[in-house]
Homo-oligomer: A and B are copies of this chain.
Amino acid sequence: MIETTTQEETQTYSFPDKKGYFGKFGGKFVPEILIPALEELESAFQTAIKDDTFWADYHRLLNEYVGRETPLTFCDRLTEHFGKAKIYFKREDLCHTGAHKINNAIGQVLLARRMGKKRIIAETGAGQHGVATATVCAKFGMECIIYMGAEDTERQKLNVDRMGLMGAKVIPVHSGSKTLKDATNEAIRDWVTNVEDTFYIIGSAVGPHPYPVMAREFHRIIGDETKRQLQEAEGENILPDYVLACVGGGSNAIGIFYPFVDDASVKLIGIEAGGLGFETEETAATLTKGTPGVLHGSLSYLLQTDSGQVQLAHSVSAGLDYPGIGPEHAHLFDTGRVKYVAVNDKEALEGVKLSSSLEGIIPALETAHAISYLNILMPQTTENEIVVLNCSGRGDKDMGTISKYI
């Protein structure tokens, strides 16, 4: 069993198992050549998470560089707007670089240093994980190569420039659909080729074991802080009734869900990108619409054709525009512990407006999916309940898209 950093409570939920499975999902479906690299990584990870100095470094960087802890903001006007449960936002949008992604990038770059790796690679879609990785590489003086679909490098030129400014080399990927899925393939190919000196920082709770559990352990600080902050705000032993997060690969969601998994009274809701509607082919609602399969090293759910080819996802938000999902979410879906719903492009854009006009918080389009779901959820809540929503990122990166639609 993977050891976690929880000292506070005994978790009865104890996934993944030794083989990296969350129930039926997970594993490491990778070329033989990566097996030693994953074993080396897992052993470094296991050692690190038992090492106080590792966590001290991690927390010092998050506090002094990233700006944690992030606030838990009481959204008085949104609350008033619905007139039901109290709404809080966990403000990952205030992290350095503008999204939760950097929590994981910091954790992984620290591991890479411990392992003596000098060259960092990563994939990116919208560029948020690429920017986070380029950032930590600049801060640590490490070589940084970012794979990005050629189409995304054009759509997200701003983030390409940000990465370049920080010294990262952005490699446009021209294969396949020229988006995140292909950038990931290409990053894996680089890793396969340069496995000796290269550390691959995966940007979500996906990939072969131990990546999903690493992403979780480096993001669970979101949920751990939330739990403590809510008690500070609302009183001892108070738990939220609902915790909401958008789900692309699933890293921000698992980060806020995980510390509540054993708290049975807390309803956890993951919001996927419905795209043009999950009844269409233009969707990224992996759990709602997909079937089990293997992509990028783990067995999880997947959008795929009848013959098992991976489908292109569609979402207005680049960060959710991915046909796979982390295996732990597949497990939490199958066991029913987390409820997954889908919100369409159009509804997400309404979510942007809602939060911007009532709270002065312009969310990332990814986050906006979760916000929009409040329109469905809130009427079912009562005044003495509490809803916490993970505000995973800020919307600056999306203003171009948002302006086009609004």
- Interface positions of A (Cβ within 8 A of B): 63-67, 70-74, 77, 91, 93-96, 98, 134-139, 141, 157-158, 161-162, 165-167, 352-353, 356-362, 396-397, 399-400, 402-403, 406
Residues of B within 8 A of A406 (CB): 165
Report the bound CA distance from A165 to B350 in whole Å: 11
Interface contact B67-A72, CB-CB below 8 Å:
no
A137 surroundings in chain B (CB, below 8 A):
360
Check A360 against B138 for contact (C-beta < 8 Å). Answer: yes
10 intermolecular pairs with C-beta atoms under 8 Å apart: A67-B70, A67-B91, A77-B139, A138-B356, A138-B357, A158-B403, A165-B353, A165-B357, A165-B402, A396-B396
Q: Among the listed B71, B95, B362, which residue makes an inter-chain contact with A65, where contact means beta carbons less than 8 Å apart?
A: B71
CB neighbours of A134 from chain B (8 A): 360
B64 engages A158 (CB within 8 Å): no
Flag if B360 contacts A396 (CB, 8 Å). no
Copies of this protein, total: 2
Bound complex: CA A94 to CA B167 (Å): 21
Bound together, the chains give a CA A138 to CA B356 distance in angstroms of 7
Q: Which residues of B contact A165 (CB under 8 A)?
A: 352-353, 356-357, 362, 402, 406
Complex contact A359–B67 (CB within 8 A): no
Given contact pairs A94-B67, A396-B396, A161 touches B402 in the complex (Cβ within 8 A): yes
Q: Are A64 and B72 in contact (CB-based, < 8 A)?
A: yes
Are B67 and A71 in touch, CB under 8 angstroms? yes
Task: Name 7 extra pairs, CB < 8 A, besides A94-B95, A161-B402.
Answer: A67-B67, A98-B396, A135-B361, A139-B360, A157-B403, A158-B399, A166-B356
**Are A73 and B77 in contact, CB atoms less than 8 angstroms apart?**
no
Q: With a CB–CB cut-off of 8 A, which chain B residues contact A400? A: 158
Nearest CB on B from A125, distance (A):
18
Given contacts A67-B91, A74-B64, contact A358 B402 (CB under 8 A): no
Assess whether A166 is in contact with B73, with CB atoms less than 8 Å apart.
Answer: no
Query: A77 and B141: CB pair below 8 A?
Result: yes
- Residues in B with CB closer than 8 Å to A135 are 360-361
| Distance of A181 from chain B, by nearest CB (Å) | 26
- Complex Cα distance A247/B364, Å? 31
Q: A98-B396, A161-B403, A360-B139 are in contact. Are A71 and B77 (CB under 8 A)?
A: no
CA distance A71 to B379 in the complex (A): 39
For the complex, what is the distance from the CA of A165 to the CA of B63, rounded to whole Å? 31
Bound CA span A165–B353, Å: 6
Within 8 Å by CB of A166, from B96, B158, B362, B397, lies: B362
For the complex, give the distance between the alpha carbons of A402 and B63 in Å: 28
Given A165-B356, A402-B161: A96 and B94 interface contact (C-beta under 8 Å) = yes
The smallest C-beta distance from A138 to any residue of chain B, in angstroms, reads 4
